[in-house]
Chains A and B, each alone.
Chain A
């Protein structure tokens, strides 16, 4: 099936069933705000789809299964693997000899906490790169959009042939969705409004005739650098999380840890100790334990920190200069062009 290249203003209707407009959230590819609620909603949607719809399609070998679904299902081994990693170090503990249990438990708990902090710091550290880049350049490298995808019907009774995928505008640097950044004419703003602002922020000037053409190479460069810095630093922060989990002060939390939130007294106490243990562990990581590697903790903290700062600074560095285009080469917005 050949799909329209740009379905932004189209609402294809392949279904035999009368289409109900409320059935899907989006009828065309839609730029979404990058805020907490959207991110949460997208995360939840992807997770539930990964473990239900996409997995079911995958196990059936659906001809509509695609790369997006495959990538989304990548969450499954992460989650199961995390749980399994915790289990490997904890599940057999209760079968050990009584005298061996405390030491096995202490190690197991640290391993489990290491898994949790690895995941937490890995995802929480990404904005440390992307947020400064956004503030400084005006480019939101994480901007999401909803993509309306059209599938082949499984059979003649299959009327629901659309599904929504959540992507990011700059998810692919080779095929970025530049078109989604153009302003809707209904908004009353110039079509290149977003590109104008970015150009201004990047010091490329204002009132550019074709700001989109001017800034695209620069945006591409920034997105690539941000992506590279994010990939490297997030794993370094994750490693710092594991190092933090292996500090002795956590043991006082493990002694009182409970997830029974309905027992408010105990749960509140455990949360208090959690906070205290976190602070003490962070200090312990920084100070080291007095052996010859006492600076290892500082190294674990300052390496990702330095890498993050350098990563952001690297984004600011650019060899791209505004191109000197001849006025004849510049596409005028008011004119209509025909592409042969």
Chain B
């Protein structure tokens, strides 16, 4: 039988396939139970993120936030997006606060911290629930209580934020099983996953509540602690930026000066000139011009410019006015009094103010008119005529009226009067001097040109000085976060760290500097008495001190400290700036050496006309040079002082006489001990004043002069036989005995440095050279000088130099105990704050984590006997 293909085809077509796509689907059952009424399958899913996805997620969220803002302002946002706009507002407001506070801060560090503060606050808001809630909860309960999910509309939400509407679809049964296992939920209970869900919901609600109650405490503390911890790295980073900038600035300081050119001087002067052109130059105008020309300079410069302008702007014109008449009469009277004439007679013979006024004003028309020398000569002739007339009248009256008792003037006397008053040369002629009382100048074209030339010179100099000041201030300035300030802080940190300072020491020392002295005394003794300890400490300290060379390139400010000023970039620039200033002044029309003399002397130096021949001591030019040098020297001296004091301690600790030759055999042991004690203490605590007064120290005046034995050392410490006795009675100051001071200075600064100290410098040979210079300089300037504040102290050594207080101050540097005291005061505040809030933060974290062990406690459903049987079956 053949197969009927068509029938087969029809048969197959009519017979539905027994293979059904959804074999379990029973339409009758579904209709009966209505279970087919189900929500659509959710497209939502749980967000799985790790730290590597964070940047991409952040970028995506940022775009979504921007879109939300756009939709919000177009009225097309949904609830989720409106919520996001609130977050954007929060960040925007935070940024506005940080930006405003940024403008109120002075230093780059404090400015940066405003933004870091905002960032840390926002980060803390997000980090606290992650670290203190989410992580422990995950470890305890096995699920993320801050789980996020993306709903079917693609909106990212917190899964447990609304416990009444939880999108459980996003959790697979397997995941719920695992969570149930972690939670220790018995596997054989009915509806186990439902119980797991209920437990998860409970834990989530409890954790959310815990979050709400702890976030307020935690966020500010956490934010502040983050800022505290970031301060140092940020300071280091900003310091590096600042330092690079400084190095660039000094390299291109000319360009920096051009950038800082502001023409404010020129503008101010031009404004004054345009208002006052062709007007009389008054005292007030000169004062105003001087102020405008010296904008940004110190008042001393203004005063000198004021003086110089008065001379510079005078012409040969003079005004005869009330002042002139008063001056003429006063000068004539004084001249005749000096010549021995009686005051009564003088009053009768010289023309009075009224007579002169009548004569100059009504008769000759000189009054209140500006005129040249010719007019003055005419006025003198008029005066002469008037004088002669009065002399004649006087003598005639005196002769004709003897009863008047007027003295008759002899011919000689009359001639003398004429000679004194009108016969003398113009410079000595009292009448001519009076007539020249009111020089009269007009702000004409020539005078304007003179003023403009001076203003131009100052304008150029100002930009150069501004660039110099900017560089000095930014690199060496006595403010926070300069290269120097950072270098100082780093070095002091290294020093203090090496001392092994503990929290309790800081608490004690911050109360009184004397605690710092005592602490350092013991710490130095400890360090110096152990070779390895000494080596480690000194090597680290010197390495840190040597970093200065890397921070401030040699040649920028000073090649080698304590040497004469070299050709540093800064010095050269300052010289060039002031030279250019002088050259500009010399281009004044009709220049004479007397032009702007006071100004040039005070700004560049005295003693010559050429730039090079001027002695710059005390000048403005030298002030700028010294400003940089002194700042660096003060800091370096303070550090070298620490090295030197430690070296002294080390030399004394090993007890080898070749390192303390100052304690020679001729000195009684009692004095040796006093010298050692004095040197040790002044090395740590001596102030400039102590060195100036050659140390005030009370000792026993009746010590045993016969005991010339050596000092005794035990375990690196001196065993005192005479000094440092507890009883202070009987001790006096001994101003006549210079040995205490002289030998102490020699012991500290002259005796051979210990080789271990020298070797601690390692490859820093230049620093070693500077240190040696420092020692010899202090010995020379401070240890062997005629200058002393306390005049009764008798220093008879061959004094050679006269060091100023300022020089001594720079050489001595800061007292080490004061450095430590200040460090402790500063650290104490931070430590107190840190202790208070880190303790609070740690306690809060502990309570938050601990609380979570008590969360999620629920009674597990009981398994009935039937259920048990089913399970076992």
Which residues of A pack against B, CB within 8 Å?
54-55, 57-63, 65-67, 70, 73-74, 76-85, 87-88, 91-92, 95-97, 99-100, 104, 172-175, 220-222, 224-225, 227-229, 231-236, 238-240, 242-243, 246, 289, 291, 293, 296-297, 299-300, 303, 314, 318
A228 touches B212 (CB 8 A): no
Q: Choose, from B48-56, B98-106, B315-323, the stretch at the interface.
A: B98-106
B613 on the interface (CB 8 Å rule)? no
Q: List 29 A-B contacts (CB under 8 A).
A: A58-B206, A59-B210, A66-B163, A67-B162, A70-B162, A77-B216, A80-B215, A85-B220, A88-B224, A91-B836, A95-B829, A96-B829, A97-B825, A173-B79, A224-B71, A225-B72, A228-B72, A228-B77, A231-B85, A231-B89, A232-B85, A232-B88, A232-B89, A235-B94, A236-B96, A239-B93, A239-B94, A293-B104, A318-B75
B92 on the interface (CB 8 Å rule)? yes
B161 touches A70 (CB 8 A): yes
Q: How far is the CA of A96 from the CA of B826 in the complex (A)?
A: 9
Q: Write out the residue numbers on chain B whose beta carbons fall within 8 Å of the beta carbon of A229.
A: 73
Q: Write out the residue numbers on chain B whose beta carbons fall within 8 Å of the beta carbon of A57.
A: 205
Q: Whole-angstrom distance from the CB of A291 to the nearest CB of chain B? A: 7
Known: A76-B212, A97-B829, A224-B72. A65 touches B224 (CB 8 A): no
Q: Write out the residue numbers on chain A whose beta carbons fall within 8 Å of the beta carbon of B644.
A: none
B833 on the interface (CB 8 Å rule)? yes
Q: Whole-angstrom distance from the CB of B192 to the nearest CB of chain A? A: 18
Known: A73-B212, A76-B213, A76-B216. A173 touches B828 (CB 8 A): no
A55 touches B510 (CB 8 A): no
Q: Write out the residue numbers on chain A whose beta carbons fall within 8 Å of the beta carbon of B586.
A: none
Q: Write out the residue numbers on chain B whose beta carbons fall within 8 Å of the beta carbon of A83.
A: 216
Q: Whole-angstrom distance from the CB of B578 to the nearest CB of chain A? A: 28
* Cβ contacts B40-80/A at 8 Å (1 or 0 each): 00000000000000000000000000000101111111110
Q: How far is the CA of A78 from the CA of B829 in the complex (A)?
A: 28
- Choose from A73, A172, A314 the contact partner of B79 (Cβ within 8 Å): A172
A173 touches B77 (CB 8 A): yes
Q: Write out the residue numbers on chain B whose beta carbons fall within 8 Å of the beta carbon of A77.
A: 212-213, 215-216, 219
Q: Write out the residue numbers on chain B whose beta carbons fall within 8 Å of the beta carbon of A224.
A: 71-72, 75-77, 82
Q: How far is the CA of A171 from the CA of B101 in the complex (A)?
A: 35
B103 touches A61 (CB 8 A): no
Q: Write out the residue numbers on chain A whose beta carbons fall within 8 Å of the beta carbon of B217.
A: 80-81, 84
Q: How far is the CA of A340 from the CA of B198 in the complex (A)?
A: 37
- Choose from B75, B198, B213, B836 the contact partner of A63 (Cβ within 8 Å): B198
Q: Write out the residue numbers on chain A whose beta carbons fall within 8 Å of the beta carbon of B75.
A: 220-222, 224-225, 318
5 closest Cβ contacts across the A-B interface? Answer: A80-B216, A58-B209, A235-B93, A228-B72, A221-B75
Known: A225-B73, A228-B73, A293-B103. A88 touches B220 (CB 8 A): yes
Known: A58-B206, A60-B206; 13 extra A-B contacts, CB below 8 A, are: A61-B205, A70-B162, A70-B163, A76-B216, A82-B216, A84-B219, A99-B825, A104-B829, A225-B73, A236-B92, A240-B96, A246-B100, A300-B96
B82 touches A79 (CB 8 A): no
A58 touches B205 (CB 8 A): yes
Q: Which residue of B lies closest to A100 (CB)?
A: B829
Known: A80-B216, A100-B829, A231-B82. A61 touches B76 (CB 8 A): no
B85 touches A228 (CB 8 A): yes
Q: Write out the residue numbers on chain A whose beta carbons fall within 8 Å of the beta carbon of B90.
A: 235
B208 on the interface (CB 8 Å rule)? yes
Q: For B198, B215, B510, which residue has the most chain A Cβ atoms within 10 angstroms?
A: B215
Q: Write out the residue numbers on chain B whose beta carbons fall within 8 Å of the beta carbon of A85.
A: 220
B216 touches A78 (CB 8 A): yes
A74 touches B82 (CB 8 A): no
* Cβ contacts B828-839/A at 8 Å (1 or 0 each): 110011001100
B92 touches A67 (CB 8 A): no
Q: Write out the residue numbers on chain B whose beta carbons fall within 8 Å of the beta carbon of A296.
A: 99-100, 103
Q: How far is the CA of A83 from the CA of B90 in the complex (A)?
A: 19
A61 touches B855 (CB 8 A): yes
Q: Is the interface of B mostly helix, strand, loop or mixed?
A: helix
Q: Whole-angstrom distance from the CB of B844 to the nearest CB of chain A? A: 10
B856 on the interface (CB 8 Å rule)? yes
Tell me which residues from 92 to 126 in chain B have a Cβ below 8 Å from any Cβ of chain A.
Answer: 92-94, 96-97, 99-101, 103-104
B93 touches A59 (CB 8 A): no
Q: Which residue of B lies closest to A56 (CB)?
A: B209
Q: Whole-angstrom distance from the CB of A79 to the nearest CB of chain B? A: 7
A97 touches B201 (CB 8 A): no
B208 touches A58 (CB 8 A): yes
Q: Write out the residue numbers on chain B whose beta carbons fall within 8 Å of the beta carbon of A58.
A: 205-206, 208-209, 212
Which residues of B pack against A, CB within 8 Å?
69, 71-79, 82, 85-86, 88-90, 92-94, 96-97, 99-101, 103-104, 161-165, 198, 201-203, 205-206, 208-210, 212-213, 215-217, 219-221, 224, 510, 825, 828-829, 832-833, 836-837, 855-856
Q: How far is the CA of A235 from the CA of B711 in the complex (A)?
A: 75
Q: Write out the residue numbers on chain B whose beta carbons fall within 8 Å of the beta carbon of A227.
A: 72, 77, 82, 85
Known: A77-B212, A232-B85. A303 touches B96 (CB 8 A): yes
Q: How far is the CA of A100 from the CA of B205 in the complex (A)?
A: 45
Q: Write out the residue numbers on chain B whose beta carbons fall within 8 Å of the beta carbon of A55.
A: 209, 212-213
- Choose from B89, B99, B833, B856 the contact partner of A61 (Cβ within 8 Å): B856
Q: How far is the CA of A83 from the CA of B219 in the complex (A)?
A: 11
A236 touches B93 (CB 8 A): yes
Q: Whole-angstrom distance from the CB of A150 to the nearest CB of chain B? A: 11
Q: How far is the CA of A66 from the CA of B166 in the complex (A)?
A: 11
Q: Write out the residue numbers on chain A whose beta carbons fall within 8 Å of the beta carbon of B203.
A: 61
Q: How far is the CA of A297 from the CA of B103 in the complex (A)?
A: 10
A232 touches B92 (CB 8 A): yes
Q: How far is the CA of A220 from the CA of B837 in the complex (A)?
A: 47
Q: How far is the CA of A74 from the CA of B163 in the complex (A)?
A: 16
Q: Write out the residue numbers on chain A whose beta carbons fall within 8 Å of the beta carbon of B96.
A: 235-236, 239-240, 300, 303
Q: How far is the CA of A82 from the CA of B161 in the complex (A)?
A: 24
Known: A58-B208, A88-B220. A67 touches B164 (CB 8 A): yes
Known: A77-B219, A84-B220. A235 touches B89 (CB 8 A): yes
Q: How far is the CA of A220 from the CA of B71 in the complex (A)?
A: 13
Q: Which residue of A lies closest to B82 (CB)?
A: A227
Q: Whole-angstrom distance from the CB of A107 to the nearest CB of chain B? A: 11
Q: Write out the residue numbers on chain B whose beta carbons fall within 8 Å of the beta carbon of A303.
A: 96
- Choose from A63, A67, A239, A318 the contact partner of B201 (Cβ within 8 Å): A63
Q: How far is the CA of A77 from the CA of B121 in the complex (A)?
A: 13
Q: Whole-angstrom distance from the CB of A298 to the nearest CB of chain B? A: 11
Q: Write out the residue numbers on chain A whose beta carbons fall within 8 Å of the beta carbon of B833.
A: 92
- Choose from A70, A173, A300 the contact partner of B208 (Cβ within 8 Å): A70
B836 touches A173 (CB 8 A): no
Q: Write out the residue numbers on chain A whose beta carbons fall within 8 Å of the beta carbon of B73.
A: 225, 228-229, 314
B86 touches A231 (CB 8 A): yes
Q: Which residue of B lies closest to A299 (CB)?
A: B100
Q: Write out the residue numbers on chain A whose beta carbons fall within 8 Å of the beta carbon of B100.
A: 239, 242-243, 246, 296-297, 299-300
B78 touches A174 (CB 8 A): yes
Known: A61-B206, A76-B212, A173-B82. A242 touches B72 (CB 8 A): no
A235 touches B92 (CB 8 A): yes
Q: Which residue of B lies closest to A291 (CB)?
A: B103
Known: A221-B75, A235-B89. A88 touches B221 (CB 8 A): yes
Known: A70-B161, A225-B75, A296-B103. A84 touches B205 (CB 8 A): no
Q: Write out the residue numbers on chain B whose beta carbons fall within 8 Å of the beta carbon of A225.
A: 72-75
Known: A225-B73, A228-B72, A234-B89. A84 touches B206 (CB 8 A): no
Q: Which residue of A lies closest to B224 (CB)?
A: A88
Q: How far is the CA of A227 from the CA of B217 in the complex (A)?
A: 29
Known: A173-B82, A235-B92. A81 touches B219 (CB 8 A): yes
Q: Whole-angstrom distance from the CB of A244 to the nearest CB of chain B? A: 10
Q: How far is the CA of A236 from the CA of B97 in the complex (A)?
A: 9
Q: How far is the CA of A296 from the CA of B82 in the complex (A)?
A: 30
Q: Which residue of A lies closest to B837 (CB)?
A: A88
Q: How far is the CA of A19 from the CA of B216 in the complex (A)?
A: 40
Q: Whole-angstrom distance from the CB of A112 to the nearest CB of chain B? A: 12
